[in-house]
Amino acid sequence: MRVFEGLRFRRVPSPIHELDPRSKAVYVAVLSVLSIVYSDPLILAILLVLQIPLVYIAKVMRFWLNSLRGSTFLAVFIFAVNLLTSYLYMGGFTLEGLLTATAMTLRFILLMGVFSLFFLTTTPEDLSLALEKLRIPYDICFAFTAAMRFVPDIALEAQSIMDAQKSRGLELERGGFIERIRKTLPILVPLFIRSFQRSLELAEAMESRAYGAIEKRTSLYELKMARNDYVFMILSIILLTATLLIKPP
């Protein structure tokens, strides 16, 4: 469940938290484009290391590292699948296949890291306002931000249910593959029930606040781009341009 810690906002006073979500979205887009364009493990590793100073400035290093640790299983799975695919396609293990598997793994870790930094330093309310500024319908903005808000809570609740079932004698780590799947039912059933209860509570809260009664909504706070936001956006674009010029894909 550590991976979901990187999707929960952490209220820490830092320059990164004060940036407008739109400027941070440009940074996320730049890193995403570079991670897709390049397949060189060295460049992907450098881009991953470049995030560390920003994470340090944002004062969320522990949560950021926890999200990367939580994604270790998926990273290992991606590496193994790509290595196996190259083995079957090329008739054996080759250096090219190893580099490809490494690049795909680093690409996943890079994307995981940049999105984790974004969500750790951006409140759901600011994210919703930023999406509205992009002319996205409010219903979609609300659904997206509500999902981002409840996913970490559901993950914590799943961990609580697992701990409760273990205290009752449920051994999740023992048994074969099929037996382990069967043992997840005492966890999934209460988790689904609680999720439905959350959705009903949210629906009742929305109805009590007359959600959808007024087409034109107003906000208590308005997002405004500051000088630091423009500087951050320019630096992100410079990073994209410099990387493409120094080593074309």
Does residue 78 register a pLDDT over 60? yes
Give the model confidence (pLDDT) of 126-162 as tens digits. 887 887 777 777 777 777 777 777 777 777 788 788 8
Residues, the chain, total?
249
Does residue 197 register a pLDDT over 80? yes
The burial class, CB within 10 Å (0-12 / 13-18 / 19+), for 188 is: exposed
Contact status, residue 5 vs residue 67, Cβ threshold 8 Å? yes
The burial class, CB within 10 Å (0-12 / 13-18 / 19+), for 23 is: buried
Going by pLDDT thresholds of 50, 70 and 90, the confidence category of residue 2 is: low
What is the model's pLDDT at position 248? 75
- Give the span between the Cα atoms of 219 and 127, in whole angstroms: 13
Going by pLDDT thresholds of 50, 70 and 90, the confidence category of residue 4 is: low
- Record the pTM: 0.77
Does residue 164 register a pLDDT over 80? yes
SS3 135: coil
What is the model's pLDDT at position 177? 67
At residue 28, what are phi and psi to the nearest 5 degrees? Answer: -65, -40
Tokens 């930023």 found at: 130
Give the model confidence (pLDDT) of 8-38 as tens digits. 778 888 889 888 888 998 999 999 999 988 8
Contact status, residue 166 vs residue 186, Cβ threshold 8 Å? no
Going by pLDDT thresholds of 50, 70 and 90, the confidence category of residue 3 is: low
Give the model confidence (pLDDT) of 210-244 as tens digits. 776 676 776 767 778 889 989 999 999 998 898 88
What is the model's pLDDT at position 6? 63
Contact status, residue 34 vs residue 107, Cβ threshold 8 Å? no
Give the model confidence (pLDDT) of 90-122 as tens digits. 777 788 888 888 999 999 999 999 988 998 888
Does residue 203 register a pLDDT over 90? no
What is the model's pLDDT at position 1? 55
Does residue 188 register a pLDDT over 60? yes
HEC string of 219-245 equals CCCCCCCCHHHHHHHHHHHHHHHHHHH
